[in-house]
Structure 1
Amino acid sequence: MPIARPARPAALFVSGLVLLTGCGAADSPGSAGSPGSRGADSATAVTLDDCGHTVRVKAPPRRAVSLNQGTTEIMLSLGLADRMAGTATWTDPVMKGLEKANAKVRRIADSNPSFERVLDADPDFVAASFESTLGKGGVATREQFEKLGVPAYVSPSDCAGKDNTGDGDGARQKPLGIDAVYGEIRDLSEVFGVPERGDKLVSELKQRMKKATSGIDASDVSLLYWFANAQSPYMAGCCGAPGVITRELGAKNVFDDTHEEWPQINWETVADRDPDVLVIGDLTRKSQTAESAKKKIEFLESDPVTRNMTAVRKKRYVLVSGQALNPTIRTVEGVEQVAAALREFGLAG
Structure 2
Amino acid sequence: MPVARLARPAALALSGVLLLTACGSGDSEDSASGTDSGAAVTLDNCGQTVRVESPPKRAVSLNQGTTEIMLSLGLADRMAGTATWTDPVMKGLEKANAKVKRIADNNPSFERVLDADPDFVAASFVSTLGKGGVATREQFEKLGVPAYVSPSDCVGKDNASGGDGARTKALGIDAIYGEVRDLAEVFGVEERGERLVADLKQRTKKATSGIDASDVTLLYWFANSDSPYMAGCCGAPGVITRTLGAKNVFDDTHEEWPQINWETVADRDPDVLVIGDLTRKSQTAESAKKKIEFLESDPVTKNMTAVKKKRYVLLSGQAMNPTIRTVEGVEQVASALREFGLAG
Name the TM-score, length of structure 2 as normaliser. Answer: 0.90
- The match for 1:307 is 302
* 1:170 and 2:165 are equivalent in the alignment: yes
Distance 1:201 1:340 in 2: 22
**What are the superposed Cα offsets for residues 67-121 of structure 1, whole Å, 9 maximum, x if unpaired?**
0000100000000000000000001000000000000000011100000110010
Distance 1:328 1:155 in 2: 9
- The match for 2:289 is 294
**What are the superposed Cα offsets for residues 184-228 of structure 1, whole Å, 9 maximum, x if unpaired?**
000000000000000000000000000001110000000000000
Q: Is the 8 A contact 2:38 2:188 kept in 1?
A: no
% identical aligned pairs: 88
- The match for 1:221 is 216
Distance 1:48 1:260 in 2: 28
Alpha-carbon deviation of 1:43?
5.8
Secondary structure at 1:7 match in 2: helix
- The match for 1:39 is none
Alpha-carbon deviation of 1:172?
0.5
- The match for 1:82 is 77
- Read off the aligned partner of 1:62 and give its amino acid letter: K
Structure 1: 4+ residue segments shifted above 3 A? none
**What are the superposed Cα offsets for residues 159-193 of structure 1, whole Å, 9 maximum, x if unpaired?**
00000012210100110000000000000000000
* 1:105 and 2:108 are equivalent in the alignment: no
- The match for 2:58 is 63
Aligned residues: 313
- The match for 1:6 is 3
- Read off the aligned partner of 2:271 and give its amino acid letter: D
- Read off the aligned partner of 1:281 and give its amino acid letter: G
- The match for 1:238 is 233
Alpha-carbon deviation of 1:323?
0.4
How does 1:150-189 map onto structure 2 within 5 Å?
A: 150-189=145-184
For residue 320 of structure 1, the aligned residue among 315, 319, 325 is: 315
**What are the superposed Cα offsets for residues 1-53 of structure 1, whole Å, 9 maximum, x if unpaired?**
x3xx3238xxxxxxxxxxxxxxxxxxxxxxxxxxxxxxxxx961100000000
For residue 266 of structure 1, the aligned residue among 261, 268, 277 is: 261
* 1:212 and 2:218 are equivalent in the alignment: no
- The match for 1:275 is 270
Distance 1:323 1:294 in 2: 18
Distance 1:89 1:75 in 2: 15
Alpha-carbon deviation of 1:243?
0.2
- Read off the aligned partner of 1:177 and give its amino acid letter: G
Secondary structure at 1:92 match in 2: coil
Name the TM-score, length of structure 1 as normaliser. Answer: 0.89
Alpha-carbon deviation of 1:286?
1.2
Secondary structure at 1:347 match in 2: coil
Secondary structure at 1:54 match in 2: strand
- The match for 1:348 is 343
* 1:143 and 2:138 are equivalent in the alignment: yes
